[in-house]
A and B are shown apart, each in its own frame.
Chain A
Amino acid sequence: MMSKSLKRLIALLAVIALFVAACGNDDDAADEPAAPEATEAPAAPEATEAPAPTEPPPPPLPEVCQEQDGTGLKVGYGDLTAGIPFVTQVLDNINEVAEACNLEIVYADNNLDGETALENARTFVLQDVDGVIEFQIDAGIEAALCEELRSEKPDLPVIAIDIAHPSCALFFGADNGYAGELAGEALGQWAQENWGCEVDLIVTMESFVVGQVNIDRANGMVRGISNVCSDLAFGDFENWAPEVSDSIVTRINGGGTTDGAFPLVLDTFTANSNARILVVSLNDDMGLAALAAANELGIADNVAIASQGADATIHEEIRENPNYIGSTGYFPESYGTYVVPAIMKMINGISVPDPLFVDHVLISEDNIDDYYPAG
């Protein structure tokens, strides 16, 4: 009896394995068009042309290295985690640029865990690295982490990606407020041109649990609109609260996913079905929810949307939908071109501005083909 069901189980597992394998192939196929996009990002095109010969006359350093030669230098990189596309793009670009600049990278996976980051820091010290790039999630351990990193070399250069480590590190990452403002301004421009700034409702698609990043981006986006259409009733939105009183700004806590945000934005649109609505979204997925809700209710002409991320998901919409104004790019695939030269400069005693921000660009219909050529 048991052996029979066991046989059936093994057969089924085999089928599932086949299925997963088949999907894996599909996955690769789907990934193909995305790969060129990443390498053809303008910030790092040269990196791919790194020359191969390693004979004595050293090749000229590519421009991306900003005249820094990493020969003989060793830099630790504590990676946030394996498996998240955003993070993988960061890692790939760091490796790519480091190789081009002859810099040795000591990799460690921080595994979304502060304890692991501390352990990795000890490893970096043992390996006598010349500098460290930290990408780790736990802001609470930054002081301890800094102490650990500088236990042997009190002036060890450290760069922290996306989460501030004021005790020792230079900050590099997104300028969320500015990135938000870029998208908001573009949306405001659109509203001015098309509606003469006559807007009845501003919906911010947010994810409250994200905390400060959410607040910075959401407020930045509303601020961007207010830079253009200054006469609207914005209320005291800068002082973030779940609800903005006396304001046309309505915050929706969509949780970051399309399906989670959909019913909420659908209901909000329904309650304002004759209104002219501007939607700003913390990420592209929730922008899609607003789009689907507007289509569902047949009010797509009265809704204009801008979002953050400029993920591949949204490119087609930006190209083809005149009411999807654009999405701010964060370019994880170019992070290496910032942090690798910066850490080498710091090791060599050249000053680097702190904080160091990504050059955000609003990806819109006008420039999308420059950044992400249509496949």
Chain B
Amino acid sequence: MTTTETEHPQAGAAGETLAQRASRLFISVPPEAVLLAVLLAMGGWFWNSSEVFMTTINMRNVLLSVSVLGILAAPSTLLLISGNFDLSIASNAAMCGVAVAMVADGHSTALAIFVAVIAGLLAGALNGLLVSGLGIASIIVTLGTFQAYRGIARLMANGQTIRLRGEIDFITDRIVGIPTQVVLFIIITAITMFVVRYTRFGRAVYAIGSNLVAARLAGIRQRPTVFVLFLVSGVMAALAGLILASQLDAASPNAATGDELKVVAAVILGGASLSGGRGTIIGTLLGVLILGVLQNGLTLLSVTSFWRDVATGTVLIAAVGLDRVRVMLGGQ
């Protein structure tokens, strides 16, 4: 009854080779450190290749470009950890953006924002009800609403891009020199990090994703938790739509097309598992930044978009592959 723990009794580590020691170090490093190293390596390379890269204005650009993705990625990370997807998030953002532009034309800014947030909330609530109320798989529900919300956006805008009249410029204003949307991105990320680590709700998300049945048997209420996640996802989509519209002074029903997959890519890159239970906000943050820096750097270097797509795909697979190797070296 001495060693019943695992398949590994504590064998002497004396005769360890250098390679074994290196692989042990690699195994013991948290996955986020690997991502950070990738980010820094990329940044260093771009810094070396483009004099513009490491300027304040360009760093601001990177943050500006990633904030919408980052704001969408935060709730998506939680959803993925809980074992769910929200593929409708980008369509929802477009729908809310169109709503903002339509209401802002002739009404107050406050009303426009209110309507957009309510629209996003309702869209999220519909997803949540179908998933947690009727028990339909989230990937199916949101595949449906992904199309439906996009269609509603096009119907509302009659297929056209709508210019934003009225003033919603506070979003493009700056708070102590930082664009508001970047500040929002940072705040939302920080709040999510806190919620995940220090609240019952956050831990319940992990528990549900880890093992739905076990979580239920341990008294965790799955349905309300998932419902709230979809609500949050809807509100974040509304915020993203608001930011896009105000940044571009225009709302297109085709806005954010394909962003749902970019969001999933960033979250997966950040180490979340498609089967749920695993993932961190810091990882997602790094994933978002890696994708943003990669796009920014390659554009600065005038690399054509075809190569940019190849590079993005390669980085995604390489990062996930690296992590997989780590897990495999870790045994089992």
Interface residues of A (CB under 8 A from B): 5-6, 8-9, 12-13, 15-16, 19-20, 23-24, 26-27, 30-31, 83-86, 208, 242-243, 250-253, 255-260, 262-264, 266-268, 270-271, 273, 284-285, 288-289, 291-292, 295-297, 311-313, 316-317
Contact between chains at A23 and B161 (CB < 8 Å): no
B161-A311 in contact (CB<8A)? yes
Instruction: Provide the bound-state CA to CA distance between A24 and B299, in Å.
Output: 40
Is B105's CB under 8 angstroms from A9's CB?
Answer: no
Contact of B300 with A by CB under 8 A: yes
Is B52 at the interface (CB under 8 A from chain A)?
yes
Question: B152 interface residue, CB < 8 Å from A?
Answer: yes
A257 and B134 within 8 A (CB): no
Can you name 11 A-B residue pairings with CB atoms under 8 Å? A19-B119, A23-B102, A23-B155, A26-B156, A30-B158, A83-B154, A253-B306, A264-B295, A267-B65, A285-B252, A313-B250
B191 close to A (CB within 8 Å): no
Main secondary structure of the interface of A (DSSP, over half): helix
Mostly, the B contact residues are helix
**A263, B295: Cβ atoms closer than 8 Å:** yes
- In the complex, are the beta carbons of B257 and A260 less than 8 A apart? yes
Q: Within 8 Å of chain A (Cβ to Cβ): is B50?
A: yes
Residues of B98-150 contacting chain A, CB below 8 A: 99, 102-103, 105, 118-119, 122-123, 125-126, 129-130, 133-134
Contact with A along B169-207 (1 / 0, CB 8 A): 000100000000000000000000000000000000000
> What's the nearest-Cβ distance from chain A to residue B34, in Å?
26
Cβ–Cβ contact B152 & A263, under 8 A: no
B61 interfacial contact with A, CB 8 Å: yes
With A12-B129, A30-B102, A311-B160 known to touch, is A267 a contact of B248 (CB < 8 Å)?
Answer: no
Pair B248/A288 contact, Cβ less than 8 Å: yes
Pairwise interchain contact B103-A313, C-beta atoms closer than 8 A: no
In angstroms, how far is the closest chain A Cβ from the Cβ of B197?
A: 30
A308 to B249, CA, bound (A): 19
State whether the Cβ of B254 lies closer than 8 Å to any Cβ in chain A: yes
Measured between beta carbons, the chain B residues less than 8 angstroms from A24 are: 155-156
Taking CB atoms, residues of chain A closer than 8 Å to B105 are: 30
- Cα distance, A270 to B64, chains bound together (Å): 13
CA distance in complex: A264, B64 (Å): 12
Tell me, in angstroms, the Cα distance from A235 to B256 when the chains sit together. Answer: 34
Instruction: Report how far A236 CA is from B99 CA in the complex, Å.
Output: 44
Closest 5 CB pairs of A and B: A253-B305, A263-B65, A242-B304, A5-B133, A267-B299
B310 to chain A, nearest CB (A): 12
* Chain B residues within an 8 Å CB radius of A8: 129, 133
Q: How far is the CA of A295 from the CA of B247 in the complex (A)?
A: 10
Q: A257-B252, A267-B296 are in contact. Are A13 and B159 (CB under 8 A)?
A: no
- A324 smallest CB distance to B (angstroms): 12
Closest Cβ of chain A to B62, distance in Å, is: 8
B57 within 8 A of A: yes
Report whether B133 and A258 are in contact in the complex, using a CB–CB cutoff of 8 Å.
no
Cα distance A359–B55 in the bound complex, in angstroms: 47
* Contact call B299/A259, Cβ cutoff below 8 A: no
Q: A271-B300, A316-B163 given as contacts; is B125 within 8 A of A259 (CB)?
A: no
CA distance A12 to B127 in the complex (A): 11
Minimum CB–CB distance for B273 against chain A, Å: 28
Say whether B244 faces chain A, with CB atoms less than 8 Å apart.
yes
Residues of A with C-beta under 8 A to B257: 255, 257, 260
- 19 new A-B pairs (CB below 8 Å) besides A30-B162, A292-B250, A311-B160? A6-B134, A9-B129, A12-B125, A85-B158, A259-B68, A259-B255, A259-B256, A262-B248, A264-B305, A267-B299, A268-B302, A270-B58, A270-B300, A273-B52, A289-B248, A295-B249, A296-B172, A296-B247, A297-B57
